Every structure is written in structure tokens, then in C-alpha cells.
Amino acid sequence: MSLPHAILTALLEKPSSGLELTRRFDKSIGFFWSATHQQIYRELGRLEDGGLIEALPQPPSRGQRKEYRVLPDGRAELSRWVGEGQDPKPIRDPLLLRLRAAAVVGTDGLDAELRRHLTVHQQQLDEYTAIEARDFPAETSAQENRLHHTVLRAGIALETFWVDWLSEALAALTPPAS
Amino acid sequence: MSLPHAILTALLEKPSSGLELTRRFDKSIGFFWSATHQQIYRELGRLEDGGLIEALPQPPSRGQRKEYRVLPDGRAELSRWVGEGQDPKPIRDPLLLRLRAAAVVGTDGLDAELRRHLTVHQQQLDEYTAIEARDFPAETSAQENRLHHTVLRAGIALETFWVDWLSEALAALTPPAS
DNA sequence: AAGGCCATGTAAGTAGTTACATGATTGA
DNA sequence: TCAATCATGTAACTACTTACATGGCCTT
């Protein structure tokens, strides 16, 4: 149950409408939590019903922009949730499964898929390092900034892992023609 | 939709009953795909209905062990799936989200949670490296073996990433009392 | 005959995905 | 006025989770 807390965090950083949130979930928020606009609108409704956020009093009609901000109860709930414990989820990765399956039924078509993933992860890595260069040029001592940087570095390290591992996997797939 | 293919892979590696599969999903299969016994029994039923696997003809009653094996259609389906394309899923990690939220509402209780995760990932890493030392003592040229080793190395590298990153995050959380 | 474990399931709920629907605003 | 885009939603479905139910077998 992390989506509501992702939304609370985003709204505390900056009050937004549903569509703005969707855009932010495609960018910076998306580095650690992804969500579609359908999920976001549904959850905004729930959070409003629960009294954790409110819409700026304005338009009752449909295609109209609706801006939300966090209420004190919402902030308290987020603060409570930060200290909550939650075990890390076990791995569930289709690509690793494909490799294992390929060991039984053959590697047909796997090569291309690995190359494709390598490209995707390399691009993501480039994007993250560009953001790091732009937003965190030197170490600062501001706590908030350091936390943001730490989260970004997790993204960088994860993408680096994938790039390295995919290269290794490609090598394992096509042994040197000796 | 990877669970059926995880089961097909497991059954091809070794025909099993539902409970045996559950145990294997807690061990080696679980390194890349986790599943509970409820998921497994349901999916076994679907795969049998679909003619991809069959139960060894035996017991019609409830508390009785039922052994499954893969039919030719099942093997063909798995082979097809291996070559199928599927984009990597975007990150969705509650712990990273907690760090980001902590930047807004404060880091209360986060320290303990990071330490706890560090312990969990260190243990998992130790387990993986023990398996590596036991099962892959030297490089072999058998394709199947190399693929298995590559998958295991992904697990090792991922756990290593978490251990390193969590240590760094703890340092960022508690700045040096200068 | 009772308790524990082996083994297979059912039921209900939550979260996420995919496809589609509807209205408002703006510029050609 | 038409098309594109902004903006908010509904509906149906799939996957996963959590809690519980049922029966068989073995040991004491």
C-alpha cells in the first residue's frame, strides 16, 4: 500500500492536479514509484474521501482541472508510514526467468531481447547521470538534498548493475567460437 | 503473465507435486520468481485445463499428492515465450519512497528500517555466495550450467548493490557529528 | 484417538493494467 | 467548426495476498 504515500509525498513537495501528478510520476517520482493516471485519479479520490488531502474549492464539472493539497492528517499519516517496517519483496523478474527457461528449451530469440534491454537500461543510466550532474554538482550538507541524491544514486547503481549483467549474460549466451 | 512459465520451467527441470513446487519456489526458483502455494495450485489447475501439463493418473481425492509433468504443448509454449519481448518494469520500491518522503516529513524511524534491510540483504548475499561456491566451483563450458550461473550472479550482484547502497544511505542519514 | 504434518484447495480482498468514455479549451 | 490536446474519469480484468478450510497419513 505505497501508492497513497507516494502521492502524499508528491503533493507535499508541490500541490498539483491529477495530470500534473501523472507527469511527475513519469519523471522524478517514477525513479522509485511508477503509476498510471488511472491509478492516480482513483487514489486521489480515496485520499480526499479519507480527509488526507483536499481539492482547492473550484470546479464541480468533469473536464475541469482540480488542484489538490495535503491536509494535516495526510502529513501525519505519511510521517507514521515512514517509520513503518516492511520486508523487502523477493525478486520477480521475467528476464531472469527467461534465462532459466532457456537453459531447458533453448535460447532462441533471447539474444535480441537481452540486447534490447541493454539499450533501454543504458539510456536510463545516461538520463540519471545527466540529472546527477545537473542537480547535484557538489556535495551539499542540506539533509533534504542529500536524501534526494541518495535515492538517485540507487537508480544509477541499479541501472549500472543491469548494464553490466546484461553484457555478461550476452557473453554467456554466445560463447567464443574457439 | 510469467507465473505459468515459471511453473513450466520448474516442471521441465523436474516433475513435481504442488507442494514440492512450493518448496522449490521458496529456494532456487524463488531467486528470480516468487510465488505462494495458493498461486501455484490455481495455476496448476489452469495449465492442466489448457492441456499444457498433465497429472500422473492417480488419486481423485483431496488430501492426496498429485504429480504433474509437462506435455509437448507446454514445452512449445515455454519455448515461444522465451523469445517474446517484454519491456523492463519501472522501479516500484517502498524503501526508496520512504527516503524521499523522509526528506519532507523527517527521518523518524527510518534508521532502524535501513539497518534491518541491510541485515536481510547481507544474509541473502551470504546464501547466494555459498550456493555459488558449492554449485559453480570452476567455469564449465556446458551451456545450461553457464546460464544457471549467470542467473545466480544477477542475484549476487543485486544483493551486493543493496548492501552497498544501504550502507551509503545510513551514512547520509546520520551525518558525521563534526 | 489426538496431535502434527503432508497436501490440496476456496474465498475474499487489494493493487495494478488495459481499454474506453467524456467534457473543456485552444488554435488552425 | 474541426482537430488536437488538456483533463478527469469508468469499467473490466488479471495478478497477487491473506485468511481460512478440508482431508489423509503417521506417530504416540
Q: Are A104 and A128 in contact (CB under 8 A)?
A: no
Alpha-helical (H) ranges within chain B are: 3-13, 18-26, 37-49, 72-82, 94-105, 110-135, 143-173
Q: Assign B67 to helix, strand or coil.
A: strand
The phi and psi torsions of A15 (rounded to 5 degrees) equal -55, 140
pLDDT attached to residue B62: 57
- Tens digits of per-residue pLDDT, A113-148? 999 999 999 999 999 999 999 999 887 767 778 999
What pLDDT is recorded for position A61?
A: 61
pLDDT of residue A59: 60
Q: Would the pLDDT of A68 be above 90?
A: yes
Whether the per-residue pLDDT at A2 is higher than 90: the answer is yes
The closest alpha carbon to A5, from B130, B9, B99, belongs to B99
B-interface mutation test, from A14, A27, A77, A97, most B Cβ less than 10 A away: A97
Over residues B93-102, mean pLDDT: 97
Q: Output the distance from A61 CA to C10 C1' rounded to whole Å.
A: 44
Best of B1, B105, B120 to disrupt the A interface by mutation (most A CBs within 10 Å)?
B105
Adjacent-strand bridge partners of A92: B33
> Is B86's CB less than 7 Å from nucleic acid strand D?
no
Phi, psi of B52 (to 5 degrees): -90, -25
Residue B1: predicted pLDDT: 84
The whole-number pLDDT of residue A10 equals 97
The grid coordinates listed for B105 are 516529513
Express each pLDDT in A93-117 by its tens digit.
Answer: 999 999 999 999 999 999 999 999 9
pLDDT of A151 higher than 70: yes
Q: Which residues of A touch B100 (CB under 8 A)?
A: 9, 29, 32, 147-148, 151
Predicted local confidence at residue B58, as pLDDT: 67
Give the Cα-Cα-Cα angle B42, B44, B45 (nearest 5 degrees). 65
Tens-place pLDDT, residues B106-152: 999 999 999 999 999 999 999 999 999 999 988 776 777 899 999 99
3-state secondary structure chain A: CCHHHHHHHHHHHCCEEHHHHHHHHHCCHHHCECCCHHHHHHHHHHHHHCCCEEECCCCCCCCCCCEEEECHHHHHHHHHHHCCCCCCCCCECHHHHHHHHHHHHCCCCHHHHHHHHHHHHHHHHHHHHHHHHHHCCCCCCCHHHHHHHHHHHHHHHHHHHHHHHHHHHHHHHCCCCC
Q: Which residue of B has its CA nearest to A145?
A: B103
Amino acid B170 CA to nucleotide D25 C1' distance, rounded Å:
51
Q: What is the pLDDT of residue A57?
A: 76
Chain B residues close to A31, C-beta within 8 Å: 91, 96
pLDDT digits (tens, 9 = 90+) for B51-73: 999 998 765 555 678 999 999 99
